[in-house]
Amino acid sequence: MSQDDLIYDWNEVERRGRLIPKGVTFLDETLRDGLQNPSVTDPPVEKKIEILHLMHDIGVHGADIGLPGSSQRAFDDVVKMCRAIQSSKLRVKPGVAGRTVVSDVTPMIEVSQRAGMPVEAFLFIGSSPIRQLAEQWDVDLIARRSAEAIDVAVKGGLPVCYVTEDTTRSRPEVVAKLFEIAIDHGASRLCVADTVGHATPDGVRNIIGFTKNIVKRSGANVGVDWHGHNDRGLALENALWALEFGADRVHGTALGIGERVGNAAMELILLNLKLLGLLEDQDLTRLVDYCRTAAEALQWDIAINYPLVGSDAFRTATGVHAAAIIKAQQKGDAWLADRIYSGVPAGMFGRTQEIGIGFMSGASNVTYWLQQRGIEASKGVVDAVLAAAKKSTHILSEDEVMAVVRGPA
């Protein structure tokens, strides 16, 4: 029986074709939007560079690495990161963010000049009616400031991604006017921003289609980005839909860290596209390293049940589940063992299936656990460990199991 016969994939029934076009790219916002989360620590630049190397390893194409106009430290870190990208020949193309004001654009140009390499400028300004009211802006002011900032950046040799903040709550005529002006003044990309996590998949379809039509009418070679937040818990889903609906670059952060409840999680975007067969040649075995390194650098706690990276992601102590995994391993079939009770193959992403011993375990759990550690699984030892597990209210730790194995002192 072939592997294809072992899993019936309802995800493929009546699929309309390839979900996303070839050539889409990924922009990592961990070192900009991720650092805007109020609970993180801004790590030393050496840690940021380590994260950039891991972005390279997992196939991320670009990274927004900070706001150089916000402080001298931010400026210095951005320059050092750009130089590290260049000296290490990383594939990750750097970008920096700032407001549509000349005082924010000037440091971006200086970064590019000092580093001796192109740096993409992400120029953002709020466009929704609610933002206009709060800021006391009108559309003409937003348009004028946008045009002036883009002009300065383009003249300074920077490729520009023009970002309308809160695009998903902005009026269509305003979005059209601002995007048309951005194209006319030389922006090479337009970013649709779901700044407050307002969008549903229907909203993603509507605004991406609307933006693609603006680009098509212009006749310009301009890319379309999607930048989504997770306030409704839809950031990952929306990022995947954005690609299907026509965005050619999506943004994400390690572990979804970002403003408020965060952004689309980069590792889960890549994981899902890999499982859909759309990143066949992309090696994602360092995806866990990327997440754990970012978590350590930003001093972020990873939830134990977090997909892929959490400590429980591939761990079971339930007897029926463990027995099925063990039987598959005893057949010498690693492929089967990695999928029998997991929709995400651990080995594909650098992890392994783990079997613990607890109050729902059976003798097979204990036998396997002992054998994995080179300990003889005699009936007496297995029975003693299982009896201790049945009395416990939790999964036994390594020390607790070994205490039973060693017996009374």
DSSP per residue, 170-225:
S-HHHHHHHHHHHHHTT-SEEEEEETTS---HHHHHHHHHHHHHHHHHHT---EEE
Q: What is the DSSP string of 36-50?
A: GSTT-----HHHHHH
Q: Is residue 184 part of a domain?
A: yes
Domain count, the chain: 2
Residue 137 is given by DSSP the state: -
When pLDDT is averaged across residues 298-324 and rounded to a whole number, the result is: 93
- The values of phi and psi at residue 98, to 5°, are -175, 170
The mean pLDDT of the chain is 94
Q: What is the domain range of residue 31? A: 21-298
- Please report, for residues 18, 193, 314, 328, 344, the alpha-carbon distance to residue 338 in angstroms, rounded to integers and kept in the order given: 26, 37, 9, 9, 8
User: 36, 132, 125, 45: which is closest to 82 by C-alpha?
Assistant: 45
Query: What pLDDT was estimated at residue 227?
Result: 98
∠286-29-32 over CA atoms, to 5°?
Answer: 125
Please indicate whether residue 321 or residue 145 has the higher confidence score (pLDDT).
145
Indicate if 374 and 245 belong to the same structural domain: no
Res 1 pLDDT > 70: no
Query: What pLDDT was estimated at residue 379?
Result: 94
Query: What pLDDT was estimated at residue 211?
Result: 98
Q: Return the CATH number at 216.
A: 3.20.20.70
Q: Is residue 3 part of a domain?
A: no
* DSSP H or E run through 107: helix 102-115
Residue at a domain's end among 239, 264, 298: 298
Query: What pLDDT was estimated at residue 318?
Result: 87
Partners of 224 in the beta sheet?
A: 190
CA distance 74 to 28: 17
CA distance 84 to 53: 9
pLDDT band at 18 (very low <50, low <70, confident <90, very high): low
Res 19 pLDDT > 80: no
Indicate if 93 and 193 belong to the same structural domain: yes
pLDDT band at 409 (very low <50, low <70, confident <90, very high): low
When pLDDT is averaged across residues 368-396 and rounded to a whole number, the result is: 92
CA distance 384 to 28: 50
The answer to whether the CB of 364 falls within 8 A of the CB of 322 is yes
Indicate if 265 and 373 belong to the same structural domain: no
Q: Is residue 127 part of a domain?
A: yes
CA distance 288 to 309: 6
When pLDDT is averaged across residues 251-262 and rounded to a whole number, the result is: 98
The answer to whether the CB of 97 falls within 8 A of the CB of 149 is no
Res 134 pLDDT > 70: yes
When pLDDT is averaged across residues 195-202 and rounded to a whole number, the result is: 97
Q: What is the pLDDT of residues 243-253, one digit of tens each?
A: 999 999 999 99
Indicate if 150 and 108 belong to the same structural domain: yes
Indicate if 101 and 239 belong to the same structural domain: yes
When pLDDT is averaged across residues 54-75 and rounded to a whole number, the result is: 97
Indicate if 141 and 196 belong to the same structural domain: yes
